[in-house]
Chain A
């Protein structure tokens, strides 16, 4: 609270870019965790709650006759244009927000304060809910070809940014594994990310080799051979460098680079041309400028969309994912994927491929597992990429957002293939930035253990599952299990994600939601089915009683009735001739 100078400002105008003439008037509150704007318009009190962690930038524009403008841009793509009556207050709010939106220590993050009134047991269960080890078991690992290794158990000998357990080829000796790690940038050696049971092909991931212009490493070559040999169905394996060739070549000067095809036996090497984090950051910046244009013409919008390059990058990630999935499913070939450090593009591409290949990852629990496995545990640097703490702005990049957008594009092309709807993706995205749950805090598993995340914060996943009805895709068909998804990746099949980037411009979206309607229907269905069973039961009882009475009146016999209990009765009256059947039985 020490950073809040002015906790409340009245008569603040909220400008709407579609209705500039009639801004809302309200009161602005600053709390320890939120900025709250409460509209004071007649009786309707519309409220906007903005988490400090969601604020990506605060900008103070020059004083004008109408007030002091403050522009707040959020990581969930909300844009707030406020007009404060007095300069002094504006300055105070501005300073507080600058400080509050950029915590300097992990301990200041919301997750360490957040208490959802759960006991220790529930907290532990929440964390145990998604366990990547069970996913490897689900794939059938360990098996004759792959083993689960704990060589990295203390994060020191091999790789500090990898998880403590890794899946590596069984035939690779300890020396091979360790040697390969030494030849890979930051020790991020090749490790299995997905094993495809039907074809026995695997997707493995790593960082770039320290090959420079000519360096070789026997262990690394053996390691790749071991991966290739762990797949009995294909005589070669792919090595996919997800970077543009030029970037990979430039890295050679720094003693890094890419695999020389001549040094490795039976590899097929290719580049996928996904740009680096800096290009992606700038691209998103340009996209958001387009989204924020005031009444743009169609031409402004389409030209802006093109110039941002955003959809080109999304397509590049999708194309690379499709390449992997095709190699595994169609050619039965294993693939080793890397970029520079193997924690950004590699994570995107491997997880897109997993979703294409395996229907499990298209369920709610499956997507959680995939995020745990490919992103959290394999060391995607969430803290830096999402800018949780005040740090180097050049480390911030929308790598995860792009992955979520790829998944959204797939849900558009395959409306029945996913268990979840768009809201699930958006809420996961927002929750990552919100830092309310501990899952994404830190940059790797080692750091999370040091921060005692599991002991001091709560896991997001059980919280999401509690609302699973809200996230359900009513069109989902579990039976869809015929081979991998084969998305059409022609440019014209990639759409701008209005539901994400213009999410708060309510007027832009369809005015009637088919999703809500269908979800309401499925809920009604459950109710109706219950009602029907109730009614059937009641009518059964009534008929039974009615029968009893009339039977007694008409025949005066009751001794045989003793042998008919209610259960037999209800079974008997299932047929249309229920009455007669029972009467026959009694006579």
Chain B
């Protein structure tokens, strides 16, 4: 077992754990291959079980012969461990550093985790493309399921099965793939049942400095237009950025070659900028010494809420084009694996009520993020406490969850899930015992890592009734309408449930939530009792007939 080599000191006694808003715990610290465990060995105090993978960064401090390790986690929590003995402390620190940055995915905890529960419904088989295509087929016959990418050779970041216009054959797709970044030819992302309009997504067209064109590409996307109708291309990059991309072989659809399309540029930042924004925001949230002015200026300087506003605005624009203008939409940025997915998935939450259910949201994450090739492994390798050189880490998915939370806050009765569900997804995207978010693409997940065979799906666990209970929004009333959130700055708020989660006591808010649940549950019960009394009464009235018979 190679983990043993990394663990020089597996156990230290007399370690003191400090956590904000919780009492100190003194106990024994143990290191295992995947966990840091602190136990007071008393029955009534809880133990700390921390996945090494959840550790973002550690700091060491020494005073005399004892040391302190400050552990900064990817879920933004910060804990402090006081460890007696200089050598023990150094050993523990170096083990944690090594174990939390293992290179090989196959050494990650999900490959070792054995569920303590019975898997009733295997999450790996829940959201198969074939199944969702059946739903599409029942609504329209204009699309087909293509197997052109079955061995991932045309587009390594696409799944084996994709939905394309019916009249576009696989040869055309091959040509179009060579004209789109990463081989990401336009595929169907969403079909709007209400008016038959669609949203597609792709990588940027590779027009390059000489304005290369691809007739097949034009033909493919034109095939999705209704006669005489224009479509919208939403480019998630600013015009200048898209212009610059031409020099590097990329670019955007030229008006001359796509006369039936109107192109709109929005300004969703690239991943490195977003990562920087997250780091600044979390730093501002964690600094307790700020004056009001300093806090507001740091919040502003982090630009986090600006990104939220821009992403939501773009999603609203896409939804508006489809629902209000009755137009077809194609969304892309550069690669089509980050900002593109933020926009297409959020637009679906606005347009499609089923995405606001628990299962529907899981399906959305599966379809628009996992299958669509968002590189989770790269993006979530480090979180807000990352330092030094980054390798494509960015809170793209967290921004999506934050935007969803903003919509949920504005439509508190239209979602079947509550905030806890979103927080759960954030946690598991960064560190987890489940295999769902491992790897960067469908190809890696199924072919290379064989995750469905070797790991447990997060959905297998979440969908158990006893777990589900905690994620259900008691206020939920299915709302079949398209929802339009406000994107005014006054309407957007800092997501306290994530960013202030460890900096405040949640006692009073939890109490309020429980009270709300209680009111709703009590009412339901009361209603049930009234109904059953009514039934009894009706029965009595018929049984009581001897009263009226002589």
Show the binding face of A for B, using Cβ within 8 Å: 291, 295-303, 305-306, 309, 311-312, 315, 413-417, 474-475, 477, 488, 490-496, 498, 502, 505, 507-512, 514, 517-518, 521-522, 524-525, 528-529, 531-532, 535-536, 538-539, 542-543, 545-546, 549-550, 553
Which residue of A is nearest B296, CB measured? A306
* Cβ-neighbour of B300 out of A291, A302, A415, A511 (below 8 A): A302
* Cβ-neighbour of A542 out of B305, B494, B500, B537 (below 8 A): B537
Majority SS at the chain A contact face: helix
The answer on a CB contact under 8 Å between B291 and A511 is no
Binds A, one of B180-188, B215-223, B353-361, B509-517: B509-517
The answer on a CB contact under 8 Å between A538 and B537 is yes
Closest 10 CB pairs of A and B: A301-B489, A415-B512, A302-B300, A491-B295, A306-B296, A312-B292, A298-B306, A535-B533, A491-B292, A546-B544
The answer on a CB contact under 8 Å between B293 and A312 is yes
A414–B285 CA distance with the chains assembled, in angstroms: 21
Say yes or no for B42: interface residue by CB 8 A criterion.
no
The bracket for how many chain B residues form the interface is 35 or more
A188–B310 CA distance with the chains assembled, in angstroms: 55
The answer on a CB contact under 8 Å between A553 and B546 is yes
The answer on a CB contact under 8 Å between B508 and A507 is no
Contact residues in B for A524 (Cβ distance below 8 Å): 523
Number of A-B contacts (CB under 8 A): 166
A-B contact pairs, 28 of them (CB 8 A): A297-B306, A297-B489, A298-B308, A301-B489, A302-B300, A311-B292, A415-B512, A416-B515, A417-B508, A477-B511, A490-B503, A492-B290, A493-B504, A508-B488, A508-B491, A510-B412, A511-B411, A514-B413, A522-B519, A528-B523, A528-B526, A532-B529, A535-B530, A535-B537, A536-B533, A539-B533, A539-B536, A542-B537
Which residue of A is nearest B524, CB measured? A521
Say yes or no for B543: interface residue by CB 8 A criterion.
yes
* Cβ-neighbour of A539 out of B293, B300, B511, B537 (below 8 A): B537
The answer on a CB contact under 8 Å between A546 and B537 is no
Majority SS at the chain B contact face: helix
Contact residues in A for B412 (Cβ distance below 8 Å): 510, 512, 514
Instruction: From A416, A511, A514, name the one whose CB has the most chain B CB atoms within 10 angstroms.
Output: A511
The answer on a CB contact under 8 Å between B530 and A509 is no
Say yes or no for B303: interface residue by CB 8 A criterion.
yes
Contact residues in B for A296 (Cβ distance below 8 Å): 489
Say yes or no for B410: interface residue by CB 8 A criterion.
yes
Instruction: From A296, A297, A491, A545, name the one whose CB has the most chain B CB atoms within 10 angstroms.
Output: A491
Contact residues in A for B500 (Cβ distance below 8 Å): 492-493
Contact residues in B for A545 (Cβ distance below 8 Å): 544, 547
Contact residues in A for B285 (Cβ distance below 8 Å): 492
A255–B5 CA distance with the chains assembled, in angstroms: 78
Say yes or no for B36: interface residue by CB 8 A criterion.
no
Known: A302-B489, A510-B409. A529 touches B526 (CB 8 A): yes
User: What's the nearest-Cβ distance from chain A to residue B322, in Å?
Assistant: 20
User: What's the nearest-Cβ distance from chain A to residue B451, in Å?
Assistant: 38
User: What's the nearest-Cβ distance from chain B to residue A231, in Å?
Assistant: 30
A306–B300 CA distance with the chains assembled, in angstroms: 9
B411-425, CB < 8 A from A: 411-414
Show the binding face of B for A, using Cβ within 8 Å: 285, 288, 290-297, 299-300, 303, 305-306, 308-309, 409-414, 475, 483, 485-486, 488-494, 500, 503-505, 508-509, 511-512, 515-516, 519-520, 522-523, 526-527, 529-530, 533-534, 536-537, 540-541, 543-544, 546-547
* Cβ-neighbour of B540 out of A413, A508, A542 (below 8 A): A542
The answer on a CB contact under 8 Å between A532 and B504 is no
The answer on a CB contact under 8 Å between B490 and A512 is no
Instruction: From B490, B492, B534, B541, name the one whose CB has the most chain A CB atoms within 10 angstroms.
Output: B490
The answer on a CB contact under 8 Å between A512 and B411 is yes
The answer on a CB contact under 8 Å between A488 and B504 is yes
A518–B512 CA distance with the chains assembled, in angstroms: 12
The answer on a CB contact under 8 Å between A302 and B299 is yes
The answer on a CB contact under 8 Å between A299 and B303 is yes
A524–B525 CA distance with the chains assembled, in angstroms: 12
The answer on a CB contact under 8 Å between B519 and A474 is yes
* Cβ-neighbour of A507 out of B295, B475, B488 (below 8 A): B488
User: What's the nearest-Cβ distance from chain A to residue B300, in Å?
Assistant: 4
The answer on a CB contact under 8 Å between A532 and B530 is yes
Contact residues in B for A505 (Cβ distance below 8 Å): 488, 490
The answer on a CB contact under 8 Å between B295 and A492 is yes
Contact residues in B for A491 (Cβ distance below 8 Å): 290-292, 294-296
The answer on a CB contact under 8 Å between B523 and A521 is yes
User: What's the nearest-Cβ distance from chain B to residue A464, in Å?
Assistant: 24
User: What's the nearest-Cβ distance from chain A to residue B1, in Å?
Assistant: 45
A525–B519 CA distance with the chains assembled, in angstroms: 9
Which residue of A is nearest B493, CB measured? A495
Contact residues in A for B537 (Cβ distance below 8 Å): 535, 538-539, 542
A553–B546 CA distance with the chains assembled, in angstroms: 9
A522–B520 CA distance with the chains assembled, in angstroms: 9
Known: A312-B293, A508-B486, A550-B546. A415 touches B523 (CB 8 A): no
Which residue of B is nearest A298, CB measured? B306
* Cβ-neighbour of A415 out of B411, B491, B509, B530 (below 8 A): B509
The answer on a CB contact under 8 Å between B300 and A303 is yes
A508–B505 CA distance with the chains assembled, in angstroms: 28
The answer on a CB contact under 8 Å between A510 and B489 is no
The answer on a CB contact under 8 Å between A311 and B515 is no
Contact residues in A for B483 (Cβ distance below 8 Å): 511
Which residue of A is nearest B413, CB measured? A512
The answer on a CB contact under 8 Å between B296 and A416 is no
Which residue of A is nearest B409, CB measured? A510
Instruction: From B288, B485, B491, B493, name the one whose CB has the most chain A CB atoms within 10 angstroms.
Output: B491
Contact residues in B for A415 (Cβ distance below 8 Å): 508-509, 511-512
Contact residues in B for A529 (Cβ distance below 8 Å): 526
User: What's the nearest-Cβ distance from chain A to residue B227, in Å?
Assistant: 29
Which residue of B is nearest A530, CB measured? B530
A511–B483 CA distance with the chains assembled, in angstroms: 9
Contact residues in A for B544 (Cβ distance below 8 Å): 542, 545-546, 549
The answer on a CB contact under 8 Å between A298 and B309 is yes
The answer on a CB contact under 8 Å between B300 and A518 is no
Contact residues in B for A494 (Cβ distance below 8 Å): 292
The answer on a CB contact under 8 Å between A309 and B293 is yes
A491–B285 CA distance with the chains assembled, in angstroms: 10
A30–B508 CA distance with the chains assembled, in angstroms: 48
A297–B536 CA distance with the chains assembled, in angstroms: 61
Contact residues in A for B294 (Cβ distance below 8 Å): 491
A305–B488 CA distance with the chains assembled, in angstroms: 14
User: What's the nearest-Cβ distance from chain B to residue A541, in Å?
Assistant: 10
Which residue of A is nearest B309, CB measured? A298
The answer on a CB contact under 8 Å between A498 and B490 is yes
* Cβ-neighbour of B296 out of A311, A536, A549, A550 (below 8 A): A311
Given pairs A302-B296, A311-B296, 6 additional interface contacts (CB within 8 A): A299-B300, A510-B410, A512-B410, A517-B413, A531-B530, A550-B546
A417–B511 CA distance with the chains assembled, in angstroms: 10
Known: A312-B292, A510-B409, A517-B475. A475 touches B516 (CB 8 A): yes
User: What's the nearest-Cβ distance from chain B to residue A78, in Å?
Assistant: 15
Instruction: From B285, B290, B296, B483, name the one whose CB has the most chain A CB atoms within 10 angstroms.
Output: B296
The answer on a CB contact under 8 Å between A549 and B293 is no
Which residue of B is nearest A305, CB measured? B296
Contact residues in B for A493 (Cβ distance below 8 Å): 500, 504
The answer on a CB contact under 8 Å between B526 and A525 is yes
A227–B509 CA distance with the chains assembled, in angstroms: 39
User: What's the nearest-Cβ distance from chain A to residue B478, in Å?
Assistant: 13
